[in-house]
Structure 1
Amino acid sequence: MTYQCHYESSPDVGVFVNLTNKYCITAPHESVQLFSLLESVLAPHGIPVFRTSIGHSAIVGRMTVGNSRGLLLPSTTRDFELMHIRNSLPEDVVVQKLDERLSALGNVIACNDYVALIHPDLDRETEEIIADVLGVETFRHSIAGLPLVGSYCRFTNKGCLVQPGCSREEQEELASLLGVQVCAGTVNRGAIAVAGGCVVNDFVGFIGRECTNTETGVIQAVFGIQQNLNAIDDMKRALAEGFL
């Protein structure tokens, strides 16, 4: 299932949302529309949805990274934010702050439940914490020569979307490394920072409202999710609230 949506006036939903198979974090905001959509879709699957800031920032999708086992936060996370996050997550999800100079963790780390791609310049200690907290195998990598792996690719346990500059040979290498199918594409009418325009887990995706039909089709195909054709009531409600 895929849903087109936006955060206030921005179609870059991946900047403001962190979604896994176990939880969903979204930025605090005055409009309740995005939160209501996320909650209505995810709550029936037992996935808690909650709001938080990270060090006064609303860009929680760029500042945090996680999977079903853990969640990593930058050192700028305030104590009351950390407490709120821990109280909102399932008990078996490990939460850890990272003292890392590359503090926008969502830009420099991309992961699923088994593998993490990390920025080549991350500290060795940071790499060890990533492997331990998330329970993944880590690989220092770039996407089409760009080190911000968390910005230029998005992957789940089922598929991986990379920016269009990624060559066929690199896509094949990533497919072997990650153990999932890999496809190049764009979001929001040609944007190459694909992680900013979509958040996905193994069964549902939320994509920017500017995504074209072609971009949406690529996202659905690579992640193995389909348009939500049966949930007519959900789509009507989303349309009425201005999501689509």
Structure 2
Amino acid sequence: MHIERLDFENSPYLGVYGLATDRVVLVREGLGEKKLEVLRDVLKVPLIETSIMKSRIVGIFAAGNSNAILVPWYIWDSELDHINASLKEQGVDMEVIPFRNTLTALGNLILANDKAALVSAKFKREDVKAIEDALGVEVERGMIGDYHAVGSAGVVTNRGGLVHPEASDEELEWLRDLFKVDVYVGTANMGVPFVGSCMLANSNGVVVGHLTTGPEIVKIEEALGFLD
């Protein structure tokens, strides 16, 4: 199966607790083996169980693509060493982003695949350059709908993308051109528009929150390129 429903201790907001790329998945500590096995089976890449500053909401703090994982400056040294050692085994870089300001929830503020990244318009130009160098892709500043939290308002892989229903037709065309994939609007978890917070997805599959409805799953499959 390329799509499965799951919950993390009764929470349907899987994207809050993890980050998926085509090379690796970062996921919160403390999940049972059965749920970890679902992630392995669907996403088909190694898992790194971790925390960031002893918090389990690693999907809020971390962002990235197949080239690199970005984490905020306040990550603990022990966490940094653990994640970095695991990433090196997969040939993925790790970059500590030193923005000492309020823009530390990188997972909420950065949306990326292996072609490009969209970051919150609140980032300064020098910040964008640092992200661009780390991820090795073109980076643009912008919003989805009226939302700066582009990482939670969307999910994009190397096969497709799904974003907040308030995205305009012009924004969808721009996103398609930027990420080089088809991008559609949709929801998850029974109407939640912040789809990036609701799922973990890469080019192999997608794991969605357990409240996601059948029609939402069909739209997610279409948007992320899993319908023939």
The TM-score range, normalised by the shorter chain, is over 0.9
Q: Is the 8 A contact 2:21 2:66 kept in 1?
A: yes
CA displacement, residues 212-241 of structure 1 (integer Å, 9 cap, x when unaligned): 0111001101111259xxxxxxxxxxxxxx
The code of the aligned residue for 1:207 comes to: V
Partner of 2:161: 160
Q: State which drifts further: 218-227 or 182-191.
A: 218-227
Partner of 1:194: 195
Q: What is the rounded CA distance, in whole Å, between the counterparts of 2:187 and 2:128 in structure 1?
A: 29
Report deviation, 1:30. Answer: 5.3
Q: What is the rounded CA distance, in whole Å, between the counterparts of 1:10 and 1:33 in structure 2?
A: 16
Q: Superposition RMSD on alpha carbons, in Å?
A: 1.6
Report deviation, 1:91. Answer: 4.8
Q: What is the rounded CA distance, in whole Å, between the counterparts of 1:135 and 1:148 in structure 2?
A: 21
Q: Is the 8 A contact 1:8 1:31 kept in 2?
A: no
- CA distance 1:59–1:176, change in 2 (3 Å): same
Report deviation, 1:132. Answer: 1.0
Partner of 2:64: 66
Aligned residue for 1:58, secondary structure, equals coil
Q: What is the rounded CA distance, in whole Å, between the counterparts of 1:48 and 1:179 in structure 2?
A: 26
Aligned residue for 1:158, secondary structure, equals coil
The code of the aligned residue for 1:210 comes to: L
Matched, 1:21 2:22: yes
Aligned residue for 2:95, secondary structure, equals strand
The code of the aligned residue for 2:70 comes to: L
Partner of 1:31: 32
Q: Is the 8 A contact 1:63 1:104 kept in 2?
A: yes
Gaps of 5+ in 2: none
Partner of 1:225: 226
Q: Is the 8 A contact 1:2 1:226 kept in 2?
A: no
- For normalisation by structure 2, the TM-score amounts to 0.93
- For normalisation by structure 1, the TM-score amounts to 0.87
- CA distance 1:105–1:3, change in 2 (3 Å): same
How many residues align? The count is 224
Report deviation, 1:176. Answer: 2.1
Q: What is the rounded CA distance, in whole Å, between the counterparts of 1:176 and 1:121 in structure 2?
A: 22
Q: What is the rounded CA distance, in whole Å, between the counterparts of 1:23 and 1:134 in structure 2?
A: 14
The code of the aligned residue for 1:35 comes to: L
Matched, 1:87 2:88: no
Q: State which drifts further: 173-182 or 207-216.
A: 173-182
Residues 101-140 of structure 1 mapped to structure 2, 5 A cutoff: 101=101, 102-140=103-141
Aligned residue for 1:129, secondary structure, equals helix
Q: What is the rounded CA distance, in whole Å, between the counterparts of 1:107 and 1:95 in structure 2?
A: 18
Matched, 1:96 2:95: yes
Partner of 1:230: none
Report deviation, 1:174. Answer: 1.7
Aligned residue for 1:206, secondary structure, equals strand
Partner of 1:51: 49
Q: Kindly name which structure, 1 or 2, has the bigger radius of gyration based on alpha carbons.
A: 1
Aligned residue for 1:214, secondary structure, equals helix
Report runs of 4+ in structure 1 exceeding 6 Å deviation: none
Percent same amino acid among aligned pairs? 35
